[in-house]
Structure 1
Amino acid sequence: MKLVVVSDTHMPRMNKKLPERLIRELKTADAIIHAGDWTNLLVFEQLSAFAPTYGVAGNNDGADIVRKFGLRKLLELEGCKIGIVHGHGASKRTATETQAIEAFKGVELDVLVYGHSHIPVSKSSGGMLVFNPGSPTDKRRQPLYSFGIFTLLGGALTAKHVYYADKS
């Protein structure tokens, strides 16, 4: 099973359309995960035209997106428990990753997907993969745009980032 993982699309402000590099991977996706800051439900419509799309709302999403997705989601795909949260919180002093991990305190996960910082992360923490795909449309202070690909095979998950310079 191939999962394409995105966050922080901020569309249409940061891009009018999904980047071509992302679309190439979406064409062969079995499912899509979005970790918030869609900013417009049209992004969900565009993504879900490729594959079933799961996600959460972020701090830049309106009430319609919060109602549709909520702020935290737990998925189980092919025996893999995946927690999704944007990572923003009430405290600006607490790091995004820390807030994301706290959102699932006491829940056993194989993978935690979060966004908000636009900084790609892939590391092991407490026996789970902690993954931030970065942003396919708003790289901020990062050198490249990015998103993630998870491959689920026989209960095992592998993860990688896809980096690119042109968001058109």
Structure 2
Amino acid sequence: MKIVAVSDTHMPRMAKALPPALVQELADADLILHAGDWTSPEVYDMLAVYAPVQGVAGNNDGPDIVERWGYRRIVEIGGHRFGLAHGHLGWGSAAQNAYAAFEEEEGISAIVFGHSHVPLLTAANGVTLFNPGSATDKRRQERFSYGIITLQSVMSTYQHGYYSSKV
């Protein structure tokens, strides 16, 4: 199963359309996870053309997105429990805030989050923390990015996809 993880799209301010490199990955996605800061409900429509979409709201999302998605979600996929949180609620780093959004007894194996626009793959207490960065708003990063999660029978692999804009 191929899951494409995105966050911090900030559309349409940062992009009018999904970047071609991301669209290429979405073409054979089984599921899309969006970790907040859509900034427009139309982003869901753009993504849903490719695969089912699950997500959460971020700090830049309006009440319509917050009402639809909430700030925290658990998605069960292939025997894994994925936590989704933007990472903005709390006083720590985005990773710390995302981790704190879930309780140990919820059995989360991985948390997909955003907020910092900085790609990250790390672990805390046996939980994988994965930030795909941003495919449309790289801020101080060298390249734009998104995430790919591949689920196999007993193994998950996480990787970032990077691409450079042509200016």
TM-score bracket, shorter-length normalisation: over 0.9
Task: Give the match's secondary structure for 1:146.
Answer: strand
Return the offset for 1:128.
1.6
- Between the aligned partners of 1:155 and 1:56, the Cα distance in structure 2 is 26
Aligned residues between the structures: 166
Alignment match, 1:4: 4
Report the equivalent of 1:101. Answer: 99
The answer to whether residue 128 in structure 2 is matched with residue 129 in structure 1 is yes
SS at match of 1:112: strand
Structure 1 segments (4+ residues) deviating >3 Å:
none
Give the residue type in structure 2 aligned to 1:28: D
TM-score by length of 2: 0.96
Q: How does 1:1-168 map to 2 (within 5 A)?
A: 1-91=1-91, 94-106=92-104, 107-166=106-165
TM-score by length of 1: 0.95
How far off its partner does 1:124 sit?
2.0
Asked whether the 8 Å contact 1:80–1:155 carries over to 2, the reply is no
- Three-state SS of the structure 1 residue aligned to 2:95 is helix
| Partner SS state of residue 37, structure 1 | coil
Segments of 5+ residues of structure 2 without an aligned counterpart are none
The answer on whether the counterparts of 1:144 and 1:165 sit within 8 Å (CA) in structure 2 is yes
Which stretches in structure 1 are left out of the alignment for 5+ residues? none
Is the contact made by 2:90 and 2:97 (CA closer than 8 Å) also made in structure 1?
no
2:145–2:161: 8 Å Cα contact kept in structure 1?
Answer: yes
Query: What one-letter code is carried by the residue in structure 2 that aligns with 1:26?
Result: L
Q: Is the 8 A contact 1:109 1:128 kept in 2?
A: yes
CA contact (8 A) 2:137 2:144 kept: yes
1: CA distance, partners of 2:43 / 2:76: 23
In 2, Cα distance between equivalents of 1:167 and 1:130: 30
Percent identity of paired positions between Structure 1 and Structure 2: 49
